[in-house]
């Protein structure tokens, strides 16, 4: 149930055939800025006053006379210059909650016109240990996939692995010069990680191997191996094939831990056979041209071109991404392709999308919408690399997740119920640990840099996963004390919203669909965390003021049902963030 849409629909009807541009005016129905004045407010009268040449308050009055409201709203009130305050009738809210209680989607409808989304996320460069930088794309992408899927869209997730880059030249060179063959047999993942680190130590300058330092013999040797691989050298291809399973095993373990799943893992290597054809086609259509031995797409007169083939014949990140767009359109016919990638790649995507447009793959009337879902960096509190609580640097993602679980263990031991089941410790701490890391990330506005803080993310009070997981477990424990389960609770019991705290909680519960639609259209999971925080606060106020287990008998079933709806809403919201709930904490 989308209350905002219901109101906008009513206003649209009232405005139609009377005011100019009814859709724009109806869109000016908004959540109330202060719940003192109502649940929602309509702000159209001011601008309509200008357009219609009447005083806004008069417009508001005429509009109200045309509005059908009496079945769902208290009498609307006009305030100030012409705001219309809207407050739902309590019986109406009670009826909607009763419907939600018996609905498997707690009353949240799927969208009327589903799209088909390809979501490109995570995409680590394999053969290097995954680090915190990969976390954001992975967590954000998974959450967006879950959200869009829940809203009824067709979602295809694709992990565009960097599995063809210069890091393989490093591994091949390490394999030839530093291999511990025994170790490779026993523990290939660890041996490859070791080779990568050992070779990098021999680089004269640290930094990105893609840039390289000319004249550094080790870097030159690595580059040579990469070039041989890309030319199809049989030996290097065989080594690449030998390394890939171990590389995949390493990242798989992390994805499993994070409960992240992909429909496809089509890395850069998959597109190699198509790259020559892409360059030829762009040349033939006059979209790309040669310049100093290289081939580029010249998007602006003055600026540097977007290179799609370098003078040494090597293809680029852009060439691969063009082939990927072409493939995805043919294979999946998506309405949207989302790239959940660091904002530092903004220029790459801007150029890529413009090239795809010139290539005829997308346009205003055909092809998918291409969106760079950009995000900022993860920083340590001192703007330096992230550390454990005792100050040791966290080198890779696995260590970071271990640290989070360790801290969750401290919380568990300090707070566990007396009758806690010790065998649940590891599953609880894993869920709390993963939840904390994910929620901290998702609750930030994705476009800003985010400062990683163990203290904040583990806090038991505040807008954290731990708090939400506790709130959920508390609801479950009340239901258990009342001796009801999801199977036995009377979902058909009538709901009574007598106390003001009950009504406020009901309003929060009923706003979830509206919120999820905003989160989906902005592609911002922090809209969901903000909602969960408001819901948890409304629940806590309700709980402090309205006894549940000791409620008068005519109110007990209704209050239990409210707890049950809160639990389901929290669980759904957390699930859309990729966070597990815990039945008992």
Find tokens 């424990």 and name the residue. 477
**Least distance from ligand ARG to the Cβ atom of residue 321, Å:** 5
Rounded to a whole number of angstroms, the minimum distance from the CB of residue 232 to ligand ARG is: 22
Nearest approach in angstroms of CB 9 to ligand ARG is 39
Answer yes or no whether residue 265 interacts with ligand ARG by CB under 6 A: no
Q: Where are the alpha helices (DSSP H) in 305-423?
A: 317-332, 346-358, 397-415
Burial class of residue 427 in the structure, from the number of CB atoms within 10 Å of its CB (0-12 exposed, 13-18 middle, 19+ buried): exposed
**Closer by beta carbon to ligand ARG, 325 or else 495:** 325
CA dihedral for 392, 396, 402, 405, sign (positive or negative): positive
Shortest CB 341 distance to ligand ARG, Å: 5
> Of the two residues 42 and 338, which places its CB atom closer to ligand ARG in the complex?
338
Question: 137 vs 464, which CB is nearer to ligand ARG?
Answer: 137
- According to CB under 6 A, which one of 14, 341, 407, 471 is a site residue for ligand ARG? 341
The residue of the chain with the least Cβ separation from ligand ARG equals: 123
What minimum distance in Å lies between the beta carbon of 267 and ligand ARG? Answer: 9
At 119, give phi and psi (nearest 5°): -115, 120
The torsion angles phi and psi of 378, rounded to 5 degrees, stand at -100, 125
Per-position b or e across 203-219, b if 16+ CB within 10 A of its CB: beeeeebeebeeeeebb
What order of strands is seen across the sheet that includes strand 289-291? 289-291, 294-297, 306-309
Closest CA to 92 of 495, 392, 457: 495
Smaller CB distance to ligand ARG: residue 208 or 483? 208
With respect to ligand ARG, which residue has the nearer C-beta, 120 or 513?
A: 120
**Which CB sits closer to ligand ARG, 123 or 573?**
123
CA distances from 324 to 118, 215, 266, 557 (A): 11, 34, 9, 55
Q: How far is the CB of 228 from ligand ARG (least distance, A)?
A: 22
Which of 119/509 has CB closer to ligand ARG? Answer: 119
Least distance CB 324 / ligand ARG (angstroms): 6
| Shortest separation between residue 210's beta carbon and ligand ARG, angstroms | 10
State in angstroms the smallest separation of the CB of 260 from ligand ARG.
15
**CB nearer to ligand ARG: pick between 239 and 323:** 323
Choose between 160 and 474: whose C-beta lies nearer to ligand ARG: 160
* Residue number, 85 or 320, with CB nearest to ligand ARG: 320
DSSP bridge partners of 88? 73
What character string, x for contact with ligand ARG (CB under 6 A) and - otherwise, covers 86-125?
A: ----------------------------------x--x-x
Q: Quote the least distance from Cβ 394 to ligand ARG, whole Å.
A: 19
Q: Work out how close the CB of 327 gets to ligand ARG at its nearest, in angstroms, rounded to a whole number.
A: 11
The reply to whether 162 sits near ligand ARG by the rule CB under 6 A is yes
Q: Which is nearer to ligand ARG, 72 or 325 (CB)?
A: 325
Give the integer Cα–Cα distance in Å for 538 and 504.
7
**Least distance (Å) between residue 126 CB and ligand ARG:** 9
- Binders of ligand ARG among 309-338, rule CB under 6 A? 321, 324
**Is residue 525 at the binding interface for ligand ARG, with CB under 6 A as the rule?**
no
Under a CB-based contact definition with an 8 Å cutoff, are residues 334 and 356 in contact?
no
Residue choice 8, 128, 160, 372 for contact with ligand ARG (CB under 6 A): 160
* Residue with tokens 């389960």, as numbered in its chain: 485
- Of 123 and 296, CB closest to ligand ARG: 123
d(CA 475, CA 550): 15
The whole-angstrom separation of Cα 409 and Cα 556 is: 36
Q: Measured from the CB of residue 434, what is the shortest distance to ligand ARG in angstroms?
A: 22
| Binder of ligand ARG out of 40, 240, 339, 543 (CB under 6 A) | 339
Structure tokens at 305: 């071109």
Q: Which is nearer to ligand ARG, 318 or 464 (CB)?
A: 318
Residues 6+ apart with CB under 8 A from 330: none
User: Could you tell me the maximum CA-CA distance found in the chain, to the nearest angstrom?
Assistant: 87
Cβ distance to ligand ARG smaller for residue 160 or 524: 160
Token pair belonging to 472: 């959920």
From the CB of residue 300, how many other CB atoms can be counted at a distance below 10 Å? Answer: 9
First to last CA, the chain: 32
Q: How many chain residues touch ligand ARG (CB under 6 A)?
A: 9
The residues, any chain, with a CB within 8 Å of residue 347's CB and separated by 6 or more, are none
Q: Which two tokens stand for residue 103?
A: 């609905």
Residues 209, 498: Cα–Cα separation, whole Å: 66
Shortest spacing between CB 160 and ligand ARG, in angstroms: 4
Enter the tokens of residue 439.
């929620």
**Residue 73 — φ and ψ, nearest 5°?**
-120, 150
Contact assessment for residue 359 and residue 282, using Cβ atoms and an 8 Å cutoff? yes
Residue positions counted in the chain: 585
Closest CB 339 distance from ligand ARG, rounded Å? 6
> How many Cβ atoms sit within 10 Å of the Cβ of residue 29?
23
Q: How far is CA 309 from the centre of its chain?
A: 34
- Alpha carbon 19 to its chain centroid, in Å, reads 39
User: Which of 2/125 has CB closer to ligand ARG?
Assistant: 125
Give the interface with ligand ARG as residue ranges (CB under 6 A).
120, 123, 125, 160, 162, 321, 324, 339, 341
């Amino acid at each position: 149930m989308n209350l905002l849409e219901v109101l906008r629909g009513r206003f649209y009807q009232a405005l139609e055939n009377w005011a100019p541009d009814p859709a724009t005016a109806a869109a000016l129905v908004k959540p109330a800025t202060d719940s003192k004045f109502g649940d929602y407010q309509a702000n159209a009268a001011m601008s309509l006053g200008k357009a219609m040449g009447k005083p806004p308050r008069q417009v508001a009055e005429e509009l109200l006379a045309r509005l059908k409201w009496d079945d769902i709203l208290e009498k609307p009130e006009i305030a100030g210059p012409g705001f219309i305050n809207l407050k739902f009738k309590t019986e109406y809210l009670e009826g909607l909650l009763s419907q939600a209680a018996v609905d498997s989607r707690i009353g949240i409808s799927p969208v009327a016109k589903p799209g088909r989304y390809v979501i490109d996320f995570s995409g680590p460069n394999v053969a290097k240990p995954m680090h915190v930088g990969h976390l954001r794309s992975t967590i954000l992408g998974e959450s967006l996939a879950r959200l869009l899927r829940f809203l009824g869209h067709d979602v295809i997730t694709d992990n565009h692995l960097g599995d063809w880059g210069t890091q393989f030249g490093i591994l091949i060179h390490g394999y030839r010069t530093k291999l511990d063959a025994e170790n490779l047999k026993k523990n290939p993942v660890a041996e490859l990680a070791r080779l990568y680190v050992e070779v990098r130590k021999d680089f004269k300058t640290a930094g990105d191997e893609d840039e390289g330092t000319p004249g550094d013999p080790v870097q030159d040797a690595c580059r040579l191996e990469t070039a041989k691989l890309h030319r199809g050298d049989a030996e290097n291809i065989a080594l690449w094939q030998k390394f890939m399973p171990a590389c995949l095993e390493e990242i798989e373990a992390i994805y499993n831990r994070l409960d992240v799943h992909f429909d496809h893992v089509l890395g850069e290597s998959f597109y190699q056979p198509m790259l020559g054809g892409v360059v030829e086609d762009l040349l033939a259509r006059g979209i790309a041209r040669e310049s100093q031995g290289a081939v580029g797409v010249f998007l602006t007169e003055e600026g540097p071109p977007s290179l799609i083939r370098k003078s040494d014949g090597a293809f680029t990140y852009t060439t691969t991404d063009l082939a990927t767009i072409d493939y995805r359109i043919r294979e999946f016919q998506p309405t949207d392709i989302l790239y959940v990638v660091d904002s530092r790649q903004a220029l790459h995507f801007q150029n890529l999308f413009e090239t795809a447009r010139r290539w005829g793959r997308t346009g205003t009337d055909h092809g998918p919408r291409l969106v760079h879902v950009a995000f900022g960096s993860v920083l340590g509190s001192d703007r330096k690399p992230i550390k454990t609580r005792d100050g040791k640097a966290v080198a890779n993602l696995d260590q970071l997740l271990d640290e989070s679980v360790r801290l969750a263990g401290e919380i568990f031991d300090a707070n566990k119920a007396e009758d806690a089941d010790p065998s649940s410790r590891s599953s609880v701490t894993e869920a709390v640990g993963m939840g904390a890391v994910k929620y901290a990330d998702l609750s930030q506005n994705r476009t800003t840099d985010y400062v990683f803080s163990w203290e904040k993310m583990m806090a038991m009070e505040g807008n954290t996963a731990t708090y939400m997981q506790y709130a959920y477990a508390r609801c479950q424990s009340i239901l258990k004390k009342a001796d009801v389960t999801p199977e036995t609770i009377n979902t058909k019991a009538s709901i009574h919203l007598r106390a003001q705290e009950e009504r406020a909680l009901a309003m929060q519960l009923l706003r979830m669909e509206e919120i999820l639609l905003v989160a989906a259209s902005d592609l911002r999971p922090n809209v969901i965390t903000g909602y969960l925080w408001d819901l948890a606060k409304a629940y806590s106020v309700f709980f402090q003021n309205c006894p549940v287990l000791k409620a008068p008998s005519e109110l007990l079933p209704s209050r239990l049902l409210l707890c049950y709806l809160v639990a389901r809403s929290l669980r759904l919201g957390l699930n859309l963030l990729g966070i597990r709930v815990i039945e008992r904490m």
